[in-house]
Every structure is written in structure tokens, then in C-alpha cells.
Structure 1
Amino acid sequence: MMRWLLFFLTAAGTLFFNSSRFVDPWLVPKWGILVTGMVVWGLVTAVHWVYPFDRCPVRFRSWVEGGLVALVGVEACYGLFRAFAPGGGGVASLTGTLDNATGFAACLCVGFPFCLRLMGGTGWRRYAGVAAATVVLVAVALSASRAGILSLLAVSAVWAWKRLRFSPRVKGTTLAVLLLLLAGLLYGVKKDSADGRLLIWRCSLEMMKDRLLQGWGLGGFEAHYMDYQAAYFERHPGSRYAPLADTVQYPFSEYLNIGVAFGVVGWLAVVAWLVCLGRAYVRWPTVEKESGLLVWLAVVVFAAFSYPLM
């Protein structure tokens, strides 16, 4: 019971805790809560191994899932209320308890698989899951986070794949068409922003080519990216990306960020980690592991176009 309470408080703190006492009032307090919660959890678990005192209830996993669904539901509702209540800032202020729409959407996407898990239950659990999933979908869609929308689509498609009674060919064709239509729509909605990211990704790949194995180290992207962007425009003075150039501190892709910092070695470590997770599910599939795998799928898709690890 104590460990469940610590887990719930840590998760709640990483969503809701802000403090003006820090230079960064949005992210640093949440990281502080995360580290503190992990340390306390580790100490309690270590003591429990030596002297068992905290017996987990039979419904421990259900409590965890219900707690996470409640947290993301409250976060989504708070974000919508803050944005659209009288005096709110509208869609532009749809950030919830985070500093921007990207962080808001990332948190909701990570919690979304647990909403789907409750939807597979019965009674009040199903209704709670449907309500939470609906408000999360609405909040992410209104936040205009393209990475968030793609992430939710990927999670929903994988979750529905084995639950819809159609042939694999029909499901695969439908999913491919939906992805192509959605990708084209999301590109057209914010075309300049998408083209700006293409420029950043091209320059980031140039950085990787120069230090393919060892990378540039932590902080290497921020220290050297502008030099590569300047060199790109020297080689392509008439580039259509010229009006979109700006000061950049992040490559808007976790994979490129890891590749620039740690080279191919960093990529191999990420691939090995994801393969281990997938292998663990395939060898011993359970509904709890399916939820965990969907959480990582949400992160993997989101990370391709944004920076959820921040």
C-alpha cells in the first residue's frame, strides 16, 4: 500500500507540481519530484526486501491503472477548462500544467493506453475508460500537436488490431490509408513549421555524418548546430528553407538528438532496449504488458517528431 501511494504521489507531482522558486518553474520542479519519488521508492523497496512490511493488495495493478487514468483525465480537463473558461486564452493557451502544448500532449499520450485498458473492463471501469479516453482525444486534437495526434493514432491502431474482426489485409490497408491521409493533413495544417523541421533534420544528419560513431556529446547539438545551418545556406543560397531559419536548441526528434550526442552507439542502445521490451511481451504476453508496450509505442512515435523525454 505504501509503495502504491508513493507511486501515485510521484506520478501526480510530475504532472501538477510547479513552483516559481525555481528558474524554470515548469520542468525543474517536476524533475525534482521524479527523482525524489524514485529515491524514496527505492529505499522503501530495499527495506521491504530485508524486512517485509508493505504487502501489495491483490488489486494493486488495478489501482495503479485507475490512478493513472484519473491523473491524465484531470490533466486533460484542467487544460481544457483553463483554455476555454471565461477569460481563458483559447486554443493557444491549451498547455495544462506544462509550459507548452507539446509537453501537455506528451503526458496525455503516455497515459492514453491505460484509458484503453479500462475500456476493456466492465461496469464503471469501462465508462471511466471511455470518458477519460474521450477527453484525452479532444484535448490532444485541440492542442494541435501533430506528434500527439500521430501517437494516439498509432496506439489506437495497435490496440484495435487484434480486437477488430476483419482480415489482416483489410485492417492493414485501412490503417495505411488513414496514416497517409493524416500525414498529408497534418503537414498541410502547419506547412512552414514542418518545412522548418525538415531543415533542422537535414543539418542534424550532417552533424551525425561528421561524428558517426562517437557523436558530439551532451550539449553538442546546441553548441554546433548553428555552424552547420550557416554552412548549409552557404552551399544553398537560394534554398526555400532560408525564410524558416532560426536559432535552434533542439532537433525536434529524440532519435536525432541521441544520434548527434552519442552517435550510432546511442542508436544501438535504444534499439536494443526496444527489442528487449518487445521480446519480453512476445514471450510472456499479458494484458498489463500490452499496456506497457503501448506506452512505449506512444513515446516512440512522439519522439520521432518532438522531444517527450524532456
Structure 2
Amino acid sequence: MGKNILGKIDTWLTLWFIGYVCNTYAVSHTPCSHAFLCTCGWATLYILLRILPIERIGKQHWAYGCAVLGVWQVAVGLGQLFGVCSSGHYLYAVTGNFFNPAPYGAFIAVMIAVVIAVYKEHPGRILGVAAIVMTVMLPSAWSRAALLGFAVSLGIMYRAWIRNHWRQVGIFAVVILVILYFLKRGSADSRMLMILVSLRTWADNLWVGTGTGSYLQALGEGMATYFTSHPDSLFIPSVGIADRPFNEPLRMAVEQGMVGLIPFTTAIILTARRLWIAGSPLFYALVSLLVFSMFSYPFTIPAFCGMLSVIMAYAANLEKQYLFRPMMVFPFTVVGISCTFICVLLLPRMEAEKDYDRFSQIHDEAFIKDYYELFPLLNDNPQFLFDFGSLLRDCGRYNDSNAMLRQGTSLSADPMFHILMGRNYEDMGEYDKADSLYDHAFHMVPNRIYPLYRKMKLYEAMSDTTRCKAMACRVQNFRVKVESPATRDMKKEAKEIKQRKGNIAK
């Protein structure tokens, strides 16, 4: 009969969850109900798995399960590659059941790590074929983070061989890392900038962070501050709009501070230690997942949140300290009530998302009432807030539009929220506020021409010939990150304005 006490992993996760709840309600000023409910859902899954005897699942069972899941994703990817089924993203040929190639690659990398770890001890034809098939498919995702996660787990797995060939392996690793860097240098530089800005933001809010759900806003504001003080930064050509947290540990550090980071990191270390001692193949899955999380956003995706819950619950069960197992009725009742409560709150949100998808592409005043009805359920969806603000602006309701857009700025690092607010103020005749917002938008992503174009149009509306002409020169000579018909039209208009203002000055 098991002991009815918390294990070490449980204790640290409980401390983290208490801190997370307090942070959400006491520190965060960002709408984050959906993220909070999802976290509660994963906590409930962890508790359920702690009750069940999942520690009895053997290594080979884990390996065959991962082989099935991994090969299934390979089959889906091949179907997308040959046009049998559609991709999850219009820009990429292969995404599996995900919306982007990066998580697809990470999922396969995690599955391969488990399969190879077991195959190394218990060679078998099925596992061998599955490992080869997944390894061949992995590069198609073109995810450096997924490849790195897989490589690190493989390096730990074959550490004895590497120890005997460390010079060759070291040279090979350096060459590969350099090649991967230069293949997508702009993306790598952009990630480095995000790390730098995130560390500075965390240092300013070291202990309690900026609050749950506020990472993207904090990152956007940090970018604006950085580029305001470093207008000639070498990062300017590489910077882009951060629509995802590309470093999960730093996201936790920024949002929750040391109060959240310390207990969760401790729980992760204890999980890895327990899996290592037990010789579990899930150790390599955890390593691959954690490495990937340092360069991407797996814990915004349900599949990876569920994966982490399973791994940590399995490790906690290996401690031989079971949650309430002698008295099963009570914990199952608690879990059942929790699941019901979470579903009752999440289902209306899911229905609201479906309703929003139906009319999100239709820009008509008739849908304003529908937007207001969905607002209480989708007030933490930045795309919903942007579309709502745009519609209100088109209907001339500038103050209402700014209210929605302002809330969007607390959830997003997209400078278009600030630009649209600036246009509202411009149309209301509040030119100073508009000018300030255009400046802020430009400093958030200083390789975008559009904020400067809006400033030029603002000065033209103000009949400020001097500043308008100066801004037209700046727009015309601006080096854009990506040339497009829109940027060419802006430069053409800037040239015409400069010539016209020059003639007026004469």
C-alpha cells in the first residue's frame, strides 16, 4: 500500500502552482483567463496520472507508443508533401497535424529519442524501422531547434562513444552549428535579440515578474526601449514581430519572476534526476523537449503541455509516493469535478472562437453587436481585438476602437495596434498623440517602413511642410527588410510629396 503523501516533485509543483495562481490574480493586469484555465487543465491531468499506476508502463511500451505516434506524423507529413492532404500553414508544405513545421519537427524529435533509447538496449526490427523513418523525415521540418534537441539527447545517449572521439565530435558539432546559423542567420539574430531584451525585462521585474500572459507586451515594450537607445543596432535588419514566445524558460522568468522560476525549475531537475536513475527512455524525451523549448514555444501547444504532464507524473510515480491511491473514490471525485468545471468554462470559449471564425473576414457594421457579445469570452485573443478595433474604426467610433486596440497591446508585440490607434487619434485631430504612437510603433520594429509613412501622412495633414518633406526623404531612402508592391508604392508617394513640397518651398 502506497504512502498517502506528496513526493518531492509534487511539493515543488504545488509551490509553483500556488505562486502561479497568486501571480495571475495579484500581479497580472493582462486578460489571461484562457491561459489560466488551460494551465489548470494540465495540472488536473498531472493529478489524474499521479493517481493511476502509470509507473508500471515498461520501457518497450513507451517506445512502441512513441513509434506509432511518430510514424503517424511521418505519414501525415508525407501525405502533405505529395498533395494527398493539406498543410496546416499556407507557407509550408509539411506541418503534420500542427500549424507550423517547428512543433512538427519537435514532436518527431521527441518520439525518435524514446525509440532509439529503447532500441539501443533492446534492438528490434519494428523500432529500428520506425527510428529510420522518423530520422529521415525530421529534416523536412527545417527546425534547427528540433534538430538540436534531438542531437543533445542523442549525445547523452552515446556519451561513452563521444568521450572516446571528443575531438572529432567537437569539430563536427561546431561546423554544423555554424552552418545552421548562417542558413537562417536573420532568424538566429532575431532570437538572440529577444533573449537579450527578455533578460533586461526580467532584471527589472526580478522576483514576481510582469504577470501571467504579459510576455509579448513586455517583449514589445522592451524592444521599443532598446531601439530607442540603440538606433544604430546591428540587430535592426533581423528584428521581426514576435507573435510567439520563442524561449519558454525566459517567458516564465519574465511573467512569473524568480518566485515562479525557482520551484518549476527544481521540479524539472528532480524529474530528470528520477528518470535518469530509473533508466527511463522518457529522460531523453524530456531533454529533447527542454532543449527545443529554449528556442521555440512548445508550451503554448496542447500536445507538448500534455507530454510534459505525462513525463513529470511518471517520474513522480517512480518516487513510490502515491497520491491517495488507497482511497481512490475521493481523488477521482475531485479530478472529475475539476475537469467538469474547466470544461464548463472552456466550451463557451471554443464556441465563441467558432462564431468569430464565421464572420472574422466580413468587415461590416452589422457585426458590431456580435463582436460585443463575444468580447467577454475572447477578450484575451489579440486577433479578435485587432479585428474588432479595425471594424469600430471603419465605422467612425474612434474612442471605442482605441479601447479595444489598447487592450490588444497588453497581449501582443505587434506594432500595428499602435499604428491603428495613432490613425484614430489622427482622425480625431489629436496629432501629438498620433505622432507619439507612430514613433513607438517604429521603435518596436525599426526595419518597417509603414510607421514612417504614417508620420509623413500625418505631417502632410498638419500642413507641416518642413517635417513632411524631411520624413518623405526618410521614407524614400529607407532600406526595407522585404521589398513588396506596398513598400514601392509608399516610396513612390514619398517621392511625389517631396517634389511637391519642394516646389511649394520655392
**Which segments of 5 or more consecutive residues in structure 2 lack a partner in the other structure?**
1-34, 301-506
Distance 1:141 1:228, change over 3 A: same
Residue 161, structure 1, aligned to residue 163, structure 2: no
Alpha-carbon distance in 1 for matches of 2:57, 2:219: 50
Kept in 2, the 8 Å contact 1:110–1:295? The answer is yes
Q: Which residue of 2 aligns with 1:94?
A: 94
Residues 249-272 of structure 1 show CA distances to partners (whole Å, capped at 9, x for unaligned) of: 333111111111111233322331
CA distance in 1, matches of 2:130, 2:106: 15
Where does residue 263 of structure 2 map in the other structure? 269
Maintained 8 Å contact 1:96/1:104: yes
Q: How far apart, CA to CA, are the structure 2 residues paired with 1:252 and 1:243?
A: 18
Q: Give the alignment partner of residue 77 of structure 1, picking from 75, 78, 88.
A: 75
Deviations 1:86-132 (A, max 9, x none): 7977993210010001111121122122211442365xx62222222
Aligned to 2:485: none
CA distance in 2, matches of 1:62, 1:185: 36
Shift in alpha-carbon separation, 1:254–1:107, aligned structure 2, 3 A: same
Aligned partners of 2:171 and 2:267: how far apart in 1? 30
- Per the alignment, in what secondary structure is the counterpart of residue 98 of structure 2? coil
- Structure 2 distance, partners of 1:179, 1:264, is 33
- Relative to structure 1, the CA distance from residue 187 to residue 264 in structure 2 (aligned partners, 3 Å threshold; closer, same or farther) is same
> Structure 1 vs Structure 2: percent identity of aligned residues?
22
Post-superposition Cα deviations, 1:15-69, rounded to whole Å, max 9, x if no partner, equal xxxxxxxxxxxxx9xx79x869949x939x96x89xxxxxx9x986533431221
2:149 to 131, 148, 151: 151
Aligned to 1:53: none
For 2:227, which of 222, 226, 233 is the aligned residue?
233
Distance change (3 Å), C-alpha of 1:91 and 1:108: farther
Asked if the contact 1:215/1:259 (under 8 Å) is kept, the reply is yes
Cα distance change on mapping 1:261 and 1:171 into 2, 3 Å: farther
Q: Which has the higher contact order (CA 8 A, sep 6+)?
A: 2
> CA contact under 8 A between 2:117 and 2:157: conserved in structure 1?
no
Which residue matches 1:17?
none
Partner of 2:288: 298
Distance in 2 separating the partners of 1:61 and 1:261: 36
- Give secondary structure in 2 for the equivalent of 1:244: coil
Offset of residue 150 of structure 1 = 0.5
Q: TM-score, normalised by structure 2?
A: 0.46
- Once residues 44 and 74 of structure 2 are traced to their aligned partners in structure 1, the CA distance between those partners, rounded to angstroms, is 23
With over 3 angstroms needed to count, the CA separation of the structure-2 counterparts of 1:307 and 1:175, relative to structure 1, is: farther
Q: Which moved more, 1:153-162 or 1:87-96?
A: 87-96
Please name the residue that 2:127 is paired with. 129
Match of 2:480 in 1: none
Which of 204, 209, 223 in structure 2 is aligned with 1:210?
204
C-alpha distance 286-279 of structure 1, shift in aligned 2 (>3 A): closer
Structure 2 residue 253 is the aligned partner of structure 1 residue 259: yes
- The match for 2:237 among 232, 240, 243 is 243
Q: What is aligned with 1:42?
A: 48
**One-letter code aligned to 1:280:** R
Q: CA deviation at 1:157?
A: 1.3
- Taking only aligned residues, the RMSD between alpha carbons, in angstroms, comes to 3.2
Tell me, yes or no, if the aligned pair for 2:81 and 2:94 is still in contact at 8 Å. Answer: yes
Q: 1:62 aligns with which of 35, 60, 63?
A: 60
The question of whether the paired residues in 1 share the 8 Å contact of 2:80 and 2:96 is answered with: yes
Distance 1:206 1:67, change over 3 A: same
The 2-side partners of 1:59 and 1:220 are apart by 39
- Measure the CA separation in 2 of the matches of 1:60 and 1:305: 31
Residue aligning to 2:103? 103
Q: What amino acid is the match of 1:95?
A: T
C-alpha distance in structure 2 between counterparts of 1:240 and 1:207, whole Å: 20
Residue 308 of structure 1 and its aligned partner are, at CA, apart by 1.6
| TM-score normalised per structure 1 | 0.73
* Structure-1 residue corresponding to 2:140: 142
Contact 2:80-2:86 within 8 A present in 1 as well: yes
- Based on CA coordinates, which of the two structures has the bigger radius of gyration? 2
Which residue is equivalent to 1:13?
A: none
